[in-house]
Amino acid sequence: MKPEFIAAQTPLEKGFTVIEASAGTGKTTTISAIVLRLLVEQGIPIEQILVTTYTELATAELRGRIRDTIADALTQEQPPFVQEIIEKVTDRKQFERRLKLALQSFDEAPIFTIHGFCARVLADRAFESGALFETELVTDQSRFVHEVADDFWRAHFYSDDTIMAGLVRERLTPAHLVELLVQLTNNPSLRVSPPSENRAALEKKITELCRAGGNPEEIAQLAERFIVSLQSEFCEWARKELRRRKTDRRVQSFDDMLTRLDEALRGESGKELRKSLRERFTVALVDEFQDTDPVQYSIFSQIYGGSDRSVFFIGDPKQAIYGFRGADVFTYLEAAKVANRRYTLGRNWRSEAKLLDGVNAIFRRRGDPFVIESIDLSPVTASGKADAEPLTIGGRRDQPLRFWIASTDDKARVEEAVAAEIASLLAGETKTGERKIEPRDIAVLVNNNTQPGWVQRALADYRIPSVVYSAASVLKSGEASELSRVLMAVSQPTQERIVRSALATEVFGLNASALENLSSDEADWEATLNRFADYHVLWRDHGFVQMMRALLIGEKVRSRLLRWRDGERRLTNVLHLIELLHAACVENRLGINGLIKWLARQISLGAELKDEHELRLESDEDAVRIVTIHKSKGLEYDITFSPFARKEPWSAAKEFLKFHEDDKLVLDLEELPAHKQIRSREELAEMVRQLYVGLTRAKHRSYLIWQERKAKSKSALAWLFSEGASADAFLEEKGESNTSGSVRAAFGESDLIAVEELPEGGAKVFPPAPALRTSLAPRVFDKEIDRSWRISSFSSLISGRTEEPEAPDYDRAEIGVEIAEEPVLQTQGIHAFPGGMRAGTCLHLILEELDFADLSHLRPLVARKLSDFHFENFDEVVCDTLEKTLRVSLGEDGFTLSQVSRPSRLSELEFIFPITALTTERLRKVFQLEELPLAIDRLQFAPANGFMKGFIDLVFEHEGRFYFVDWKSNWLGADSASYTPESVATEMTRYFYNLQLGIYAVALHRYLERRLPDYEYEKNFGGAFYIFLRGIDPSKRNNGIFSTRPPRKFVEQLNEIFHGNS
């Protein structure tokens, strides 16, 4: 038996500690307590305590709870576990100092999702990890997956008329290959079995047999081997090809970050990277560890394995239900085996004692309830918290676990019984303590994304408000298909058949009769076609969002959809889809036809389900929650209903056969019978875990509905009520089902579980909320707005603007000093290149994409960018200028930018840091102390609080020093003689570039302080180069270049000014 982990008492030891946190045992409180103890007892700074969890939502909750716990420890009223920790404190001043410092630095607390952690490491340790610079993070890599699958299919089958192509074309469709590749991307460590054979030899033998009229059975067997081998070959090729294409296009997915970090830790610089990460994060807490996968565990075991650091893995294998997302409970079990110690949390803070005992009684009917031997039901006792305010109906307490037995296959009867019971609970005297139960206190738990609709309709019949929490994709909703038809009509407004199809959707709401009447009225029909033509023009000229906004208003879509009973759901889906389509337009740069094709592919072939695709809540009103089991994990409700507890195994025909061998996940393309048996056993184990999650959501009462059918059930409940047989024997059993008899025999007389027949639907209707009788009016705003708080930048300071643009403002002319768009003299070469912001943007973008060390792509890059900006006939001029820029000497050692490789540079480094009480007077003081020219008398801006934001054109590393570069395309004169060091210095003063230099120097100084473990200004800060591109002349030293290394004292004083210190 594993010992209990007591949050305030159990020693926090070195090595790997696994804490099994059963449902409702206060996992988040335990994590918060560990963090508090690390701060108080060991003096570890908050910036060195790494906490990771599974989702962004969980990260936000965890961050809030940890911060609240630290703050509570400094107050007079503290939770009991905090009091217990504080009682051991001997040095009160040190205690308060540590916690106050933790709160002050809490924004720096490394509390991340696992993907967020990897992203931070790859960014902060870019040089050590070998991470790709300037790589775009894509949330949806489906377009690359489809592209790779389509290319493989076309290469092998598209124009192939051989016998083999005919045999396999129907089996290996592009959609099948997409799904196969998705399996590989979701499970990076997945092993594919069997390996590919000699495809050419197989094909030759099959062709010969077919032509010779060979044995059909032998041909079929060989054809099956050929298909399996081809799939295996695809898997091997597609993994490499998908990665290559993403690397070439400089994009990566969230999972790519994990694999890249894992590879970096194993690579040549792995030792240094592991060491630096252990120094940066001296302690790690991994939340929801049951949802980890082999790659994630490998990362933590490589960083901390064999070290003297402390790592806490917190999770519950009984709640490992995300296998479909790549989570692997066997990874948890493997980690638990090798951990230095294992604990459990022993007290349940959620449920009433009898409800907890009832759930435990069901799972303790078997010695192996969770099928997998190493997952057991740890002893947990009720804390008494829920019993302090128990659920009563008419002042009476009944058995909290209600087991309804339905001797019918009619799901509608089950749904009606659930709705009737909920109506009765809401209409009657159902209370927890003295508080009456409300709809939001009740949840109906479902297994899939189809069942919520059934339940919601049944509740609506009883006038019970409800909302759906589901992992279903909005791209699979009816509204997605309808919106696709609408967009098709807008794209082709002259095609009357397509327009009619759009008008027949619920978006426009015309039935057959109305559509016929409209079509027969020539004037009305022409007006309708003209409206679609107007929408087309609006889309073409002003973009998708503007068009959709006009369509929604002009066609009164909102009011039309809200007339339906589920109108809020429909409208929410439409607005959600518009948002996703706009994001696709921006991310993929899609025009009208491209967006329509994108949507059609999402609907027909499917895509990886992303958080942003999940159906959103249609309302936040007081309503019954309809929640999938997967969505309910981590949540709790006063009362739960599980109407579909008889969940049978899913169809193997639609799934790839995956199973575990030696605790490693394997994809079996042959689908061998022995492997199918293992998969069935693992599937049963996961269904039991889903049942456990469902039954442990309730605080006071849980309804479990069993539908008895004639056929033997292979469900989780049937397994728990089976007698003695092994899992394999249970799955092989035939005959009639009698689970209901076993339930009655076990709990018919129990004071924990009430076993009842499914009740009939009732006549009670839940009364709606009374109408609001008071008149409504907006509140009058009478507060003062602090207009000094804003996001500032160099540009906003010198221009006096209070609004800050999101993008870099390349060579923007400020304070009424205009840069001429065209030179006023007859000029040649780069001096004839147009001036102004557009030209500056063009040159900046070329330099951003250009590989300084490899100019083989210079000319096509320049040609493309100049064409994009409509600068004709300047290709050679710009190429010549850039080549000169890259080979001009920047220092005494002859260093040039052509020596800077991509891994040693960052382009367009964005920064943002806080500023307090920034004024011209305070800036004047620090610049005058260092005798730096600023023309401060011309600089006027309102006092600024908030943040300073900007983009540094280029940061690079050379021999351990870091430098920054700002590219300038300013036109100073007709030839290079106009760009002498003196002229450039004058330009620096004229446009306040010395202030910009100071801001950038502070930003880089702060950046390096956080990124380099042993950072010293004198050793690591190289300096700044302002490069005026038109003036670069290798024959004239320092022409067009302003270089400096600001004194450390100046940078530190300016940093203090930004902090608000004098």
- Give the helix/strand (H/E) hosting 502: helix 496-503
pLDDT band at 106 (very low <50, low <70, confident <90, very high): very high
Q: Residue 803, Cβ neighbours under 10 Å: how many?
A: 7
Distance in angstroms (rounded) separating the CA atoms of residues 329 and 292: 7
pLDDT at 141 (0 to 100): 85
Q: pLDDT tens for residues 718-745? A: 999 998 789 999 999 887 778 899 999 9
Task: For the chain, give the mean pLDDT.
Answer: 88
Mean pLDDT across 449-476: 87
pLDDT band at 268 (very low <50, low <70, confident <90, very high): confident
Q: pLDDT tens for residues 987-1013? A: 998 888 999 999 999 999 999 998 888
In the predicted structure, residue 489 carries a pLDDT above the cut 70: yes
Q: What is the CA radius of gyration of the chain?
A: 34
Using DSSP's 3-state secondary structure scheme, residue 569 falls into helix
- Give the helix/strand (H/E) hosting 208: helix 199-211
- Bond before 194 cis per omega within 30 degrees: yes
Distance in angstroms (rounded) separating the CA atoms of residues 107 and 647: 45
To the nearest 10 degrees (0 to 180), the angle between helices 837-849 and 875-887 is 60
Using DSSP's 3-state secondary structure scheme, residue 699 falls into strand
Give the percent of the chain with pLDDT over 90: 60
Q: Residue 509, Cβ neighbours under 10 Å: how many?
A: 16
Strands of the sheet with 442-446, listed across from one edge? 466-469, 624-628, 442-446, 637-642, 698-707, 401-406, 753-757
Token couple for 447: 């297994």
Residue carrying structure tokens 């730096």: 932
pLDDT at 607 (0 to 100): 47
Token couple for 924: 């004047």
Distance in angstroms (rounded) separating the CA atoms of residues 436 and 444: 19
Q: Are 285 and 111 in contact (CB under 8 A)?
A: no
pLDDT at 825 (0 to 100): 45
In the predicted structure, residue 98 carries a pLDDT above the cut 90: yes
pLDDT at 683 (0 to 100): 94
Comparing 356-365, 475-484, 742-751, 1053-1062, the range with the smallest average pLDDT is: 1053-1062
DSSP 102-168: HHHTGGG--EEEHHHHHHHHHHHTHHHHTPPTTPEE-S--HHHHHHHHHHHHIIIIIS--SHHHHHH
Mean pLDDT across 810-821: 44
Distance in angstroms (rounded) separating the CA atoms of residues 602 and 612: 14
Of 479, 488, 505, residue with least CA distance to 571: 479
Q: pLDDT tens for residues 499-534? A: 999 999 999 989 899 998 998 898 999 999 999 999
In the predicted structure, residue 387 carries a pLDDT above the cut 70: yes
Q: Are 713 and 646 in contact (CB under 8 A)?
A: yes
Identify the DSSP state of 948: E
The CA distances from residue 836 to 333, 817, 818, 972, 988, in Å, are 63, 12, 8, 12, 17
In the predicted structure, residue 816 carries a pLDDT above the cut 50: no
Q: pLDDT tens for residues 574-632? A: 999 999 999 888 877 788 988 998 898 888 755 455 556 666 666 667 899 999 999 89
Q: Are 444 and 625 in contact (CB under 8 A)?
A: yes
Q: pLDDT tens for residues 394-441? A: 999 999 999 999 987 788 999 999 999 999 999 989 999 999 999 999
Q: Which residues of 595-629 are buried (b: 16+ CB within 10 A; e: fewer)?
A: bbebbebbbebbbbbeeebbbbebeeeebbbbbbb
More confident: 5 or 227: 5
What the chain holds in terms of domains, given with CATH numbers, is: 15-135+256-345 (3.40.50.300), 140-252 (no CATH), 381-470+624-757 (3.40.50.300), 474-606 (1.10.486.10), 789-819+902-1059 (3.90.320.10)
Which residues partner with 279 through β-bridges?
none
Whole-prediction pTM: 0.71
How do strand 658-661 and strand 664-668 relate by DSSP bridges?
A: antiparallel
Identify the DSSP state of 735: S
Name 378's Cβ contacts closer than 8 Å, sequence gap at least 6: 1, 2, 20, 22, 344, 346
Name 293's Cβ contacts closer than 8 Å, sequence gap at least 6: 187, 188, 189, 326, 327, 328, 331
Using DSSP's 3-state secondary structure scheme, residue 857 falls into helix
Distance in angstroms (rounded) separating the CA atoms of residues 880 and 829: 9
Distance in angstroms (rounded) separating the CA atoms of residues 709 and 1027: 80
pLDDT band at 131 (very low <50, low <70, confident <90, very high): low
Phi-psi category of 853—alpha, beta or left, where left has phi over 0 and alpha has psi -120 to 50? alpha
Q: Are 21 and 332 in contact (CB under 8 A)?
A: no
More confident: 743 or 894: 743
pLDDT at 823 (0 to 100): 43
pLDDT band at 811 (very low <50, low <70, confident <90, very high): low
Token couple for 314: 């917190």
Mean pLDDT across 354-363: 96
pLDDT at 819 (0 to 100): 41
pLDDT at 470 (0 to 100): 73
pLDDT band at 772 (very low <50, low <70, confident <90, very high): low
Q: Which residues of 519-548 are buried (b: 16+ CB within 10 A; e: fewer)?
A: beeeeebeebbebbebbbebbeeeebeebb
Identify the DSSP state of 795: H
Distance in angstroms (rounded) separating the CA atoms of residues 286 and 283: 10
Mean pLDDT across 136-161: 80
Comparing 124-128, 718-722, 821-825, the range with the smallest average pLDDT is: 821-825
Using DSSP's 3-state secondary structure scheme, residue 100 falls into helix
Residue carrying structure tokens 């159906």: 615
In the predicted structure, residue 815 carries a pLDDT above the cut 50: no
